[in-house]
Amino acid sequence: MVAIALLIITGTAVVIFGNTYRYAQREVSIPVGAGQLSGVLITPRDGRPRGLVVMVHGDAAVEATMDGLYGPWFEGAADSGWATLSWSKPGVGGSDGDWLRQSMADRAAEVSAVLDWARSRPELPTGRVVLWGASQAGWVLPKVVAARSDLDGVVAVGTAINWLRQGRYHLEAGLADDDAGPAERAAAITDSERTVALLERGASHEEYRAATADPDPMPPARWGFVGRNFRSDATADLSAAAKRGIPWSLMIGDHDRNVDVAETERVYRTILGSQVTPRRFAAAHSMARPVMEDSAPVGFATGVVWPRALLAPQVIEHYRATLDALP
């Protein structure tokens, strides 16, 4: 019994210590349109922040802290003297609305509204503002940068260029990872192409359900979301954003099975030129160590006990150095 008690106490201490970060956090409510977004403001424990990072989420129903997984990113910014502002997507947590009813243009307008609110608050350090965005944010960040002249930098994490090409890449990478045979691969690709054809002609969800062979088909709300956004391509918005002349840090994982990072790096280099600094990591799409995505039990246990260890080596160090380098 004594040994078990000691084990429980030790385990509890590890969890508490592993989830204790070097920053202060408070909740904020951000008015947007007729509703409000529920968010968090992260600040360094000591001294006034020298700038503000605004987080732009990827896909899915993301809560302001990504259920605690943003902790290392928050801490990295705080260690560099930066505050971070993040909010739950519409319809998530205490935020009004429904993120599945948004287009990428709606998402960009939401980010811009949050930026306007932040600049109206004298207590927020908006002398320097950096956008941080992951994955799906690749279709949001360039729109925001192109529309505004008050941003000082962008950190793009695992962002894509073209929605349909990204989907095809993700499908084929998943099939390869599952060691799918020729027949399974051909069937999956045929079903994907059938789905794209349905999207192209604006088919109803009922038509999609009747046609797809996917064992886990999209529900109606997701079908509507994809229908609004499947034509997304970042190229034109990146070209418009390039006129702002601000620095972009592109963080990409060599083990990314969601996004064709070679395409992303090539397009960013072509359009942004010297404004972009690409950096590759031995990481998966989320910048996590590959084992964290390959093994759900390992990823879960690490997230509970020591979430800092989820991310690949040098990810947060590079993020901190990126913020340190801004004037």
**Do 38 and 116 sit in the same domain of this protein?**
yes
Q: Is 126 strand, coil or helix?
A: coil
Last residue of some domain: 210, 229, 248?
Answer: 229
Q: Is 114 strand, coil or helix?
A: helix
Q: How many domains does the chain have?
A: 2
**Do 193 and 307 sit in the same domain of this protein?**
no
**Do 52 and 140 sit in the same domain of this protein?**
yes
**In the prediction, which pLDDT does 19 show?**
65
- Residue 100 domain-assigned (yes or no): yes
What proportion of the chain, given as a percentage, has pLDDT over 90?
87
**Do 183 and 241 sit in the same domain of this protein?**
no
What CATH number does residue 95 fall under? 3.40.50.1820
Q: Do 141 and 235 form a contact (C-beta atoms < 8 A)?
A: no
User: Per residue in 231-284, pLDDT tens?
Assistant: 999 999 999 999 999 999 999 999 999 999 999 999 999 999 999 999 999 999
Residue range of the domain that includes 215:
165-229
Last residue of some domain: 229, 261, 276?
Answer: 229
**Do 97 and 83 sit in the same domain of this protein?**
yes
Mean pLDDT across 151-173: 98
Burial 293-322 (b: 16+ CB within 10 A, else e): beeeeebeebbeeebeebbbeebbebbbeb
Last residue of some domain: 229, 246, 267?
Answer: 229
**In the prediction, which pLDDT does 297 show?**
82
HSE of 280, CA atoms in CB hemisphere, 13 A: 9
